[in-house]
Structures are given as C-alpha cells and as structure tokens.
Amino acid sequence: MKKIKVLRVDYSGNNMNLKRFEDNPIEQFKLWFEKAQKSNVIEPNAMVLSTIQKNNTPTSRTVLLKEIDKNGFIFFTNYDSRKSKNIKNNKYVSTLFLWKKIERQIIINGICKKISKTKSEKYFKSRPRKSKIASWASIQSSLLESPSVLLKRFQDFENKFLNKEVPYPNNWGGYIIIPKSIEFWQGKSSRMHDRILYSKNNNLWNKIRLYP
C-alpha cells in the first residue's frame, strides 16, 4: 500500500472564463450538472449534506438531489431522521457535489426548509414501490438491533400493502436548500485550480474569482 502522503493526482481542467458564467448560479449549476450527466458520472445527483447538531458540531452524510427549481435544490428524507432534527434546530446547511471524473466540485451553502406536503406526496407517488415500502419500514437514525429486524419490518409492510397503493407516510418528505452562496471548482494542473464564488446580497448575485 502506498503512503498517504504520496497519493497525488494532477488535474487537467481548462481555464474558466468568469464572464462566460451565468449571472444566476442555479442556471450555471444546471449547465455543469448536464455536463456531468453527459460524461456518465456515476450518480451525479449524490451530494454530501452537512448539518449542525445541538452541541454545535457538524455531521455529514450523502443524500440525493431530486429536483432543481428557481429557488434552490430539493431532496427527500425521513422527517424523524438525525438530519431532519438538526435542520429543525439549525436551518443553515452546506452541501457538496464532487464529480471526480470531470474534475469538478460545487459547494452550496444556504438555508434548508420543508417543501409543501402536496409536492412531497407527488414525488412519493413517483417512487418505485419497494422504495415506498422502505420509507415505512425504516425508523431512520434509530437503533437497529439486527438486519433481520429491518427485513421483517419491510416484509410486514409489504404484506400490509399487498395489492394496494402504498400510502404517503406523514413523517417523510422534501426539503429545499435555498442558496446563499455557491462555489464552482475546476481542477487544474499543479494545483492551480479555478474557483468561482457566487454570493447573494440584497437578492442579487455577485460572482468573483478566488485563489485556489
């Protein structure tokens, strides 16, 4: 095994022209996301979401982006989960998209809040049946005695909803991250990376270039 300190990748990205970046970073995100999809990045919608716990320490996990609208970025989860409790206590979050295949990274900082129940129900109905059942079976972030207990819960709900439409669970739904800042990072040779930062001030976006 190689020593950690010698692990190194020299990136090969091109220069980013600040003037060619969209005025709205959400629109710029869509362009980069499309590029990631066309480049066959595995799960380009996977994002590391960081929240703040009651003791003011951060905690992170990977969730899946499911929608982008004009106001922000939407994901879905169990409202009784640890992340949801953290968001209830502190609405400020940070999320990170890392697309190593195209040597790009995006960091989004902002405010997180629940979307409407109507919108959450609409998305829930579009999910695969087994994913719907899993939403009922998992008591997310709670102590699990053994994998067999979870499997039995899944089977019990599968039987309960046999030949029926799986109903929407009231403790499950969506959040939107309303961005306050978005940073676009492009890897380049010799660690001379490009960083473009958008910050919102009085509802207007300002973009600047940062040192790597």
Residues taking part in catalysis:
191
Number of residues written out for the chain = 212
**Amino acid symbol at 50:** S
Classify the phi-psi angles of 162: left when phi > 0, otherwise alpha if psi is within -120 to 50, otherwise beta: beta
User: Taking a C-beta distance cutoff of 8 angstroms, is the pair 100, 198 a contact?
Assistant: no
User: Taking a C-beta distance cutoff of 8 angstroms, is the pair 114, 173 a contact?
Assistant: yes
Concatenate the DSSP letters of all residues of 150-185 into one string. Answer: HHHHHHHHHHHTTTSPPPPPTTEEEEEEEEEEEEEE
